[in-house]
Amino acid sequence: MKKCVIIYNKKSGKVKPKQLIGTFYDVIEKHGYELNVITTKRPGDAIEKVKALPNDIDLVIAAGGDGTFDEVINGNIQREKKLLIAQLPLGTTNDIGTMFGLTQNYKRDLEIILKGVKKNIDIIMINGRPFVYVAAFGNFINISFDTPKKWKELFGRLAYILFGFTEMYQRIRMNKIKYKVNGKEKEGEFSFIFITNSSRIGGVDGVYPDMKLDDNKFEVLLCNLKTKPDILKALVFAKNNGVKNVPGCEYYSTSKLEIEFDHVPKHSWGLDGEEFKSKTNKYVFTVDKSTEILIPDKNVKKLFVSEE
């Protein structure tokens, strides 16, 4: 019998764990798997749980938000023998799962995942640490990881907006960097840095409608927006005209990016909505090709080069 492990963050979503775990067993065992459900207890726990799994596991499902999926991928990349990974979105925003074609109807999602297809996916690395779909640095980025969990449980996505109002007093910080992209060395001052591998970010679809998950590249957006009115104008422009041509921003598609700040930043990066602390001013972004995922076939033709 095939073996499946679900890494479950019971703090994600509003469905009672007992009800959810019962559904896990009903659906997974019906598809011929022996199931083991492992719940996480603290940030980073999923990384260690996945690293410790035996090599004969046929499928690992990350049941939680985008951060849980990030941790499962992180743990898998650190393994010598990689395992097949899937995501069951239970969180607040669920950018990745929605991009894959999942619906947040957890029972239906499990069914279509198990009937899905295996695909090799690009995973971006920041100084050797993997993240799945977005690394962000700059003003207001902390909203994604500082918004209280109780707020998210009560208000869902609205919690981020409410917490954002408490951050609006911040002045816009500029970060002076040198960077190398596509063989060219440049420098500048930027208020926002986004490195992404997704068509959906922050609950917004179609941010990069032509991106692919297996083209050995990721998207880079460097924004020199100095005032809050500039930010609002850029958001409106991006909504109407796309992200690639926003005034005050530079866009690149690349397989490698090197960034050097003029000092060690006091503020953290946000990786897949979670805080990433570091004590360096140099960052290298590359692509790892060792991860295979199981996803619904709904959006495969749109998301993968190999299906064009």
Indicate whether 155 pLDDT > 70: no
What pLDDT band is residue 150 in, cutting at 50, 70 and 90? Answer: low
Q: In CATH, what number does 129-288 get? A: 2.60.200.40
CA distance from start to end of the chain: 35
pLDDT tens per residue across span 247-304: 999 999 999 999 999 999 988 898 887 888 889 999 999 999 999 999 999 889 999 9
Q: In the chain, what are the domain boundaries?
A: 2-115, 129-288
DSSP-derived secondary structure for 122-190 = EEEEETTEEESSEEEEETTTTHHHHS-HHHHHHHTTHHHHHHHHHHTTPPPP-EEEEEEETTEEEEEEE
In the prediction, which pLDDT does 140 show?
Answer: 63
Question: Can you tell me which residue has the tokens 């980073």?
Answer: 44
Q: Is the dihedral of CA 58, 64, 70, 75 positive or negative?
A: negative
CB of 285 closer than 8 Å to CB of 214: no
pLDDT tens per residue across span 255-267: 999 999 999 998 8
pLDDT tens per residue across span 187-210: 999 999 999 999 887 777 778 888
Q: What is the pTM of this model?
A: 0.87
Indicate whether 164 pLDDT > 50: no
Per the structure block, which two tokens stand in for 5?
A: 């492990």
Indicate whether 149 pLDDT > 80: no
Per the structure block, which two tokens stand in for 30?
A: 């019906």
- Separation between Cα atoms, residue 177 and residue 191, nearest integer Å: 11
CB of 221 closer than 8 Å to CB of 186: no
- Separation between Cα atoms, residue 50 and residue 73, nearest integer Å: 9
- Separation between Cα atoms, residue 220 and residue 244, nearest integer Å: 10
Per the structure block, which two tokens stand in for 293?
A: 């995922």
Indicate whether 147 pLDDT > 60: no
Domain 2-115 has CATH 3.40.109.10: no
Tell me the sheet residues that pair with 20: none
Tell me the sheet residues that pair with 284: 258
- Separation between Cα atoms, residue 80 and residue 308, nearest integer Å: 31
